[in-house]
Amino acid sequence: MRIRYGRNDKGKLVRQAEIYSLDEHNISRDRIDRDAKKIISRLHSVGYEAYVVGGAVRDLLLDRKPKDFDIATDATPNQIKRVFRNSRIIGRRFRLVHIYFANDKIIEVATFRAIDSGERDEQIFGSVEEDALRRDFSLNALFYDPENEEILDFVGGVKDIRKRVLRSVIPLDVTFDEDPVRMIRAVKYSVGTESRIPFFLRRAIKKNAPLLHDCSISRMSEELFKILQSGNAEACFRKFRDLKLFQTILPQYSVLIDEKGKSYEDKFFEAMETLDRHVRGGEKRRSRMLVFLLDNYLEETGAFERGKQTSFKEVIKRSKGALKPLIAPNREIDEAVKQILRKRKIWSNQKSSRSRNRRRKGKQATASQEGG
């Protein structure tokens, strides 16, 4: 392992980063997305730094296939756009560049952030070292150079991944105030990488859990679906309960668990365990995920007490209430409720009843016209 040195404000030589070579990290450039390598090579050719960053490096170190290959560079969004004609700048306050390829493929390229570039402030560009210090957790703060097959580690992230420990890069008295959603990510990363959450990080999450109330509904709703789609929903929700986050993410469910006790709590986690099996088997439909989330809740709250006389509209209303303050697209809710009612042999009866009513009305209208 080599050490990268730099100079501090006083000009003194200081240790900046640990550089891991191929024989130390075992990530071959062949495992990097071909288009991501092209982007990095092109940026290098015109004089910019560029690396694969974040979750892709973490997953490769864990010998997993990354979902995305995000790139970080010292080129500004406008400079990136000038290099790639197949690109578009997105965002207003925090600008990123999407580079487009065939089959609707998009690779995201971000400019290094400065230390002073907080989540709620204006975007300030910085160096690769500063960008590493702006990342949420050390396992997401690694930079991989596919041309030299090296990992730059400014925060000890490689060692944390190998020790299976989650560590915040930003000080704990600052990080969750800047972005409360980092608490949800902490749980997801912990479960997904089988990493433990140290005592002080756990304490900070419990203390700051109420800050999630300040997050936008749309953002929190998207985080809920990410959890349901992760294949680790059961373990994530158990950890949310333990860390006092559950009552903010799904407050209606938290109330029901407190009211019904262990019997409903067991049903909830059994449903999430079943959902995880379906997701790992390839299930991607959000409506199907909502079925597992809503079915037992609706039953416990009496949504099906009228049996075949159950109102579709009423179940839709109850389903939306169950998720409050979070929201799901109406189409997904509708489809989920249809699946639940079919499973309970209610929906098919409602459809046939409506069909009979339409036929009856049609016959009455025809008879009236003939009589006229």
pLDDT digits (tens, 9 = 90+) for 229-268: 999 999 999 999 999 999 999 999 999 999 999 999 999 9
Domain that holds residue 123: 1-163
Residue type, 309: Q
Q: Which runs of consecutive H residues, i.e. helices, occur in the chain?
A: 22-25, 34-45, 55-61, 77-83, 128-133, 157-163, 172-178, 182-193, 199-208, 217-228, 233-242, 246-249, 251-260, 262-280, 286-300, 312-323, 330-343, 347-371
Q: What is the mean pLDDT of the chain?
A: 91
Question: How many structural domains are present in the chain?
Answer: 1
Looking at residues 127-149, what average pLDDT do you find? 96
78: domain CATH number is 3.30.460.10
- The better pLDDT of the pair 130, 3 is held by 130
Domain-embedded: residue 57? yes
Residue 298 within a domain: no
Look at residue 209 and tell me if it is in a domain: no
Per-residue pLDDT, 360 = 56
330 belongs to a structural domain = no
CB atoms within 10 A of CB 172: 15
Q: For residue 112, what is the DSSP state?
A: P
**Among the ranges given (233-237, 273-277, 301-305), the one the predictor scored with the smallest mean pLDDT:** 301-305
Q: What is the pLDDT of residue 118?
A: 56
Residue 35 belongs to some domain of the structure: yes
Higher pLDDT, 167 or 93: 167
DSSP 233-267: HHHHHHHHHHTT-HHHHSHHHHHHHHHHTHHHHHH
Say whether pLDDT at 372 is over 90: no
Has residue 308 been placed in a domain?
no
| Exposure of 253 in the CB half-sphere (CA atoms within 13 A) | 27
The alpha carbons of the chain give a radius of gyration, in whole angstroms, of 26
Q: What 3-state class would DSSP assign to 20?
A: strand
Catalytic annotation, residues: 68, 70, 136
Stretch (H or E) spanning 52: strand 50-53
- Residue 109 within any structural domain of the chain: yes
86 pLDDT tier (thresholds 50, 70, 90) = very high
**Residue 249 domain flag:** no
Mean pLDDT calculated for residue range 117-130: 76
Q: Quick one: tokens of 262?
A: 């262990």
Alpha helix (H) residue ranges in 138-261: 157-163, 172-178, 182-193, 199-208, 217-228, 233-242, 246-249, 251-260
Q: Give the model's confidence band at 368: pLDDT under 50 very low, under 70 low, under 90 confident, else very high.
A: low
